[in-house]
A = this chain, B = another copy of it.
Amino acid sequence: MQSNRLEAFSDGVMAIIITIMVLELKLPDGGYSFAELWHSTGIGLLTYLLSFAYVGIYWSNHHHLFQVVRGVDGAVLWANLHLLFWLSLVPLTQRWLDQSSVARDPTVVYGINLLGAAAAYFLLQQAIFRTPTGGDLREALGRDLKGKLSPFMYLAGIALAYLVPWAGLIPPVIVALVWLVPDRRVERYLERTAGTEADQ
């Protein structure tokens, strides 16, 4: 089976997730000054920025995955839906985080959400590795240090939240910054194998 519809569906889900989070941001209740906006919406905007970056990173990585691999099977379909399920919870957990002004339990729940998405992404990669052209992806990703270390950072964030709630967001922010540095692994792989690509 071809992957184009899986990509289109995933693009749709991630585009909606990224956009509806703004609907949840609360505005000042009757006041119309900068100070009131910052007071009521400031934390919401910052956590929205973090969640936007995460969904953007997943979209970008997802995009790279399916640049290399084209054929998918039923296992990949379900592994992908599993990833989308975790991502679809981000607007909920980020709303709770925002409402609580970054309290302990909401920060932990947000971290668990990121951890679940990371695990789902890992399982999706494994499912792709088992498809006929999956070996190409394995080669393109190499050792995948970033992918392997991220879950430990989320765990560190969950632990930190028990000490100081807002400190629990520091590791996720660091992970996001690390992923934001353009990842040229897939591009380099595509350049190396440009001969093969030219046949598509």
Contacts and interface: CB of A to CB of B under 8 A. Distances in A.
Nearest to A30: B99
A85 interface: yes
Contacts of A171: none
A48 to B, nearest CB: 9
A139 interface: no
A190 B88 contact: no
A7 B7 contact: no
A96 B22 contact: no
Interface stretch (A115-123, A140-148, A181-189): A181-189
A187 B1 contact: yes
Interface string A57-70: 00110010011000
B27 A190 contact: no
B16 A182 contact: no
Given A56-B81, A184-B74, A63 B96 contact: no
B74 A182 contact: yes
A23 interface: yes
Given A9-B59, A18-B84, A27-B96, A75 B37 contact: no
Interface string A101-134: 0011110110000000000000000000000000
Interface string A17-38: 1111011110110001110010
A154 interface: no
A52 B183 CA distance: 32
11 contacts: A1-B187, A5-B7, A11-B12, A13-B19, A20-B22, A22-B92, A25-B92, A32-B106, A34-B108, A37-B96, A74-B182
Given A6-B63, A56-B81, 16 more contacts: A7-B8, A13-B19, A18-B84, A19-B20, A20-B23, A22-B88, A27-B92, A32-B96, A32-B100, A32-B106, A37-B105, A37-B109, A56-B78, A56-B85, A74-B182, A74-B184
